[in-house]
Amino acid sequence: MAETFADLVEAEDVLLFVNASVTATGQREFRSGAHEQRLSLAFLHEYVRVNYRRVYAAALALDINDHNAATIVRELLIFAADATDEEKRTEGRLIAARLARLPPQRVYRLFRELRAAKVNNRRTRVIVRDWLAGRPDLAHDAVKYRGGLRTALRHNRPADVPAEVRDFLFRPGRRTRYENALLDAHRRAHYEQAAVYELPFTVAEGFAAKHGIDRATFLERIAPRMTRLERLRTRERAAEGRGADLTVMPLTRLALYALSLPVEERVRRRAELEGALRASALRAAGPHAGTWGRVAAVLDDSYSASGSAEKRRRPLAVALACHHLLAALSAAYTPLWTSGAKDPLLVRPWGPTPLGMRIVDALEGAPERLVIVSDGWDNAPPGLAGEVLRVWRTRLDRERRTAVVHLNPVYDADGFDVRRLAPSVPTAGIRDGEDLPALVEIAQFAEGRTGLAELYAYLDRRVLRTIGGTAR
């Protein structure tokens, strides 16, 4: 049956929301401020929740960012009355699955928001109770996320919380000692310096400052309690990278770390950094490594790839991560940076965005797949990229021998979407380079060759993969 105009509009709305949920975080971007970003994103959330609630919930099964996942959970619980019983059951399982993947500090922040919104129905209490029951160590959470856990317990009052944890949170002076080693270390750390080094790093930092402990001494002794990311974030250690196994870091986070280093240090540590990036890319490629045939990539390292104060060098890091992942996925790979750079490890954001010229260079090699990673602001000259892609599709490659996809790491608040290069080329938002294979899959729905039914079937498959069972 032929699709109606309403079906096409609905499909476009769904893809628009998915792109926004992948890229937008309500923070400042290179060309728009935080206020515009938040307003634009809030409108999209309300529009899709009201008109396509099924899709709104199903987005939790996609590779959207944590900010939008938490927002979807909050909105679904606040406006629970709008859902049918069947929708509530599916939503509850999706929410539980997504909360298990979110960082705990973001979940506790979500619980605070629900309390502020006075959402405390039975469904919400069950979700909070089950999430807390699934935490590996509530004593650890009581020490590291004290305010968040206290708020969650006050708001929902689950019964199966250890008495020591309750006393630590609500009656801190009641016990002279705790059986739990971590809780007792926190008690002793107020007057005993040795106990500071038994605490999580972020908590220990405050006690170290209180006791006047020398920073270098503190970092050396607390090192066993630090996570890999904490080691990288601590400048005194990140300067040399000591104590951090870079090969196990996620690809985009590793790219961000490499780009944060001075050029001289990147050169000096080239073997270590490139080896770690290749290892992370191969891990992200998994069984698909080497299966993509001949691939060309146009990668944006223009000045706008510098991002913003909140997302410093994020677009460039995504491009660098995609570069290494595409190299792992391809049998033969040709990278083309907009600046003409030949050394990916030393790229920096500068100059205009001659996407059109680089796309011409890429298509000359007749690759099986062309991947463009850019914010879509083609300006040297303006509009050339869209015209090149239009002519390529309508005149030179009507048989679609070359699959072309545009991945955009920047949300355009004015357009409520990521900026596109050409109507004939599918565009998908991207936040982490390791999500590239899944996003290339969903980008096919933006090309117009698959319809609304196929899009919903794809969403249902992702929901089933996330929660199991039977979905509508």
Are 282 and 416 in a shared domain? Answer: yes
Burial environment of residue 370 by CB neighbours within 10 A (0 to 12, 13 to 18, 19 or more): buried
Give the residue numbers spanning the domain of 100: 5-198
The reply to whether 12 falls in a domain is yes
**What does DSSP say about strands 294-299 and 417-418: parallel, antiparallel, or unpaired?**
unpaired
Are 181 and 316 in a shared domain? Answer: no
Q: Is 66 helix (H, G, I), strand (E, B) or coil?
A: helix
Q: Which two tokens stand for residue 326?
A: 């595409």
Distance CA 39, CA 37 (A): 6
CA atoms within 13 A on the CB side of 258: 34
Are 273 and 187 in a shared domain? Answer: no
Q: What is the pLDDT of residue 241?
A: 46
Inter-axis angle of helices 146-156 and 104-116, nearest 10 = 40
Distance CA 141, CA 152 (A): 11
Are 63 and 181 in a shared domain? Answer: yes
**What does DSSP say about strands 403-408 and 427-429: parallel, antiparallel, or unpaired?**
parallel
Are 140 and 289 in a shared domain? Answer: no
The reply to whether 203 falls in a domain is no
The count of domains in the chain is: 2
Distance CA 352, CA 301 (A): 9
Are 157 and 43 in a shared domain? Answer: yes
Q: Is 371 helix (H, G, I), strand (E, B) or coil?
A: strand
- Determine which helix (DSSP H) or strand (DSSP E) holds 295, and give its type and residue range: strand 294-299
Q: What is the pLDDT of residue 238?
A: 43
54, 87 contact by CB (below 8 A) = yes
Are 168 and 270 in a shared domain? Answer: no
Q: Which two tokens stand for residue 430?
A: 């991207």
Distance CA 165, CA 365 (A): 64
Distance CA 445, CA 14 (A): 10
The reply to whether 307 falls in a domain is yes
Are 341 and 274 in a shared domain? Answer: yes
Distance CA 130, CA 58 (A): 21
Please list the alpha-helical segments (H only) found in 365-447.
384-391, 436-443
The reply to whether 324 falls in a domain is yes
- Determine which helix (DSSP H) or strand (DSSP E) holds 335, and give its type and residue range: strand 332-337
187, 147 contact by CB (below 8 A) = no
Distance CA 317, CA 434 (A): 11
The reply to whether 461 falls in a domain is no
Are 275 and 191 in a shared domain? Answer: no
| DSSP secondary structure of 140-162 | HHHHHSHHHHHHHHHHH--S-S-
| DSSP secondary structure of 435-449 | GHHHHHHHHGGGTTS
**Model confidence pLDDT, tens digit, residues 97-116:** 999 999 999 999 999 999 99
| Domain CATH code at residue 294 | 3.40.50.410
* Residue among 380, 316, 315, 312 nearest 347 (CA): 316
Examine the fold and report which residue of 156, 174, 198 is the final residue of a domain before the chain moves on.
198
Q: Is 369 helix (H, G, I), strand (E, B) or coil?
A: strand
405, 373 contact by CB (below 8 A) = no
Burial environment of residue 218 by CB neighbours within 10 A (0 to 12, 13 to 18, 19 or more): buried
The reply to whether 240 falls in a domain is no
Amino acid symbol at 472: R
Are 179 and 286 in a shared domain? Answer: no
The reply to whether 400 falls in a domain is yes
Q: What is the pLDDT of residue 97?
A: 94
Are 194 and 288 in a shared domain? Answer: no
State in Å, rounded, how far the first CA of the chain is from the last one: 20
Cross-strand bridge partners of residue 408: 429
The reply to whether 18 falls in a domain is yes
Cross-strand bridge partners of residue 298: 336, 372
Are 51 and 120 in a shared domain? Answer: yes
**Ranges of the chain whose pLDDT falls below 70:** 1-8, 235-244, 446-451, 469-472
* Residue among 145, 141, 143, 134 nearest 109 (CA): 145
Examine the fold and report which residue of 181, 198, 215 is the final residue of a domain before the chain moves on.
198
